[in-house]
């Protein structure tokens, strides 16, 4: 295993999700087709797949942020709903999760100890 490369969220409306994720992550997709939309988030892939099926809570990825309270509030202001409010999990590491408008869970993490290899 070499680490995270891609996180994919399944969405009922690819058009609406592309707009929402562009705002939430403050970037435009680099790949935009009717079957897949891809964003480059700090060198990692965030992908959107069209899918009308029911979602579950079985996948959780955390995206790094500098200020977890601000990032959490920004996602809520864009229409995400609370899943787990920001909390300290030890050693100054903070995590939180929200549900996007398609019921996918988005994790955010502030980890002052994380360093890329």
> In this structure, what CATH number is given to the domain that contains residue 74?
3.10.180.10
**Model-level pTM?**
0.85
Overall domain count for the chain: 1
Structure tokens, 88: 């300290």
Residue 1 lies in a domain: no
pLDDT in tens, 11-51: 999 999 999 999 999 999 999 999 999 999 999 999 999 99
Q: Compute the mean pLDDT over every residue in the chain, rounded to the nearest whole number.
A: 93
User: 31-33 and 93-99 as β-strands: parallel, antiparallel, unpaired?
Assistant: unpaired
Q: How far apart are CA 87 and CA 47, in angstroms?
A: 27
- Helix (H, G, I), strand (E, B), or coil: what is residue 76? helix
Look up the domain containing 18 and give its range: 6-50+61-110
pLDDT in tens, 81-90: 999 999 999 9
Q: How many residues does the chain have?
A: 117
Residue 34 lies in a domain: yes
Residues 78/104, Cβ–Cβ less than 8 Å:
no
Residue 108 confidence (pLDDT): 96
């Amino acid at each position: 295993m070499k680490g995270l490369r891609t996180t994919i969220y399944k969405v009922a409306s690819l058009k609406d999700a592309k707009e929402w994720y562009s705002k939430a992550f403050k970037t435009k997709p680099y790949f935009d087709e009717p079957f897949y939309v891809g964003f480059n988030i700090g060198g990692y892939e965030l992908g959107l797949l069209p899918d009308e099926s029911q979602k579950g809570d079985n996948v959780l990825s955390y995206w790094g942020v500098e200020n977890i309270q601000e990032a959490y509030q920004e996602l809520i202001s864009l229409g995400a709903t609370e899943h787990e409010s920001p909390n300290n999990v030890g050693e100054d590491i903070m995590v939180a999760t929200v549900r996007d408008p398609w019921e996918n869970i988005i994790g955010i993490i502030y980890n002052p100890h994380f360093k890329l290899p």
